Each structure stands twice: as C-alpha cells, then as structure tokens.
Amino acid sequence: PGEQEGSGCTPRGEHRIRAIIGRGEPRNTIFVGRRSTGKVWTQELHEKYPDRDWILGRILWLCGNQRGVNRGGQVDSQRRYIYMHGAPPVEPMGVPMSHGCIRLRSADVCELADHMTPGTLVSISEF
C-alpha cells in the first residue's frame, strides 16, 4: 500500500500541513533537503540533471492524522517526507515521478501556499 515506508507511493487518508517552506523565494527555487539551494530551475539545469526528482517553488510538508494508517510506525507520512511541491513545467502531471509526493506546477503550489497555514487539513484519496 502507498502508506508503507519504502513503497514510493502517495499515502492516502487525512493529513494536515505540518510546515510551509519557501515563502518569499522565487517561483522556481530549487530545494534540497527542505532548504533553498539559492538556484532557480532552468531548462538547461533540467537537461543537465534529467533524472533528478525536482522540488521547486514551495514545500507543503504533510503529517498524517490517522494513527496506524498514515501516522506512526512504518506508515508515517511526515517521517517519509511526503510533500506537496512544485515540479518543472516540462514534466507531465498525473504520472508517478516522485517518491510519494504530490507534484504541482510551481505557480500553482506557490499560490496554494499563499492561502494555506500549518494545520490546514488535506484529504488524499484515489480517483
């Protein structure tokens, strides 16, 4: 299941935003380890590192709300570093390309981050 550590899948269920990272940074800022690299994504960088799991713009770090489902033990979304984050404009959406994160266009995640606060509830389900 997507909730399991090491599954590479997006965990389902009720979550909340634990932290919002990157406010005030440029839209396509590159993040590594939840920290800005000080660089902004470009097509040239993308071509230089084609297999990179790009984390751009903002990070909405998720924390599971359901013990045993997406919180605690081997199913803990926060300890799995599950985020909603920006992705390059040249990559397709709706295709698994992350390690369980929810990828959005950078402009969209930046706008979303402007309207969210830590503690905001997020429900993840299959469609």
Whether the pLDDT of residue 127 is over 80: the answer is no
Which pTM value belongs to this model? 0.92
Amino acid identity, position 68: G
Three-state SS annotation for the chain = CCCCCCCCCCCCEEEEEEEEECCCCCCCEEEECCEEEEEECCHHHHHHCCCCCCCEEEEEEEEECCECCCECHHHCCCCCCCEEEEECCCCCCCCCCCCCCEEEEHHHHHHHHHHCCCCCEEEECCC
What is the pLDDT, as a whole number, of residue 94?
83
Whether the pLDDT of residue 110 is over 80: the answer is yes
Q: Predicted confidence band at 97 (pLDDT cuts at 50, 70, 90)?
A: confident
Whether the pLDDT of residue 112 is over 70: the answer is yes
User: Which CATH architecture best describes the domain 13-124?
Assistant: Beta Barrel (2.40)
Amino acid identity, position 125: S
Q: Predicted confidence band at 23 (pLDDT cuts at 50, 70, 90)?
A: very high
What is the pLDDT, as a whole number, of residue 1?
62
Q: Let me know the angle formed at the C-alpha of 34 by 109 and 97, rounded to the nearest 5 degrees.
A: 60
Q: What is the mean pLDDT of the chain?
A: 94
Task: Tell me the domain boundaries of the chain.
Answer: 13-124
Nearest CA to 123 among 79, 74, 81, 84? Answer: 84
Whether the pLDDT of residue 17 is over 90: the answer is yes
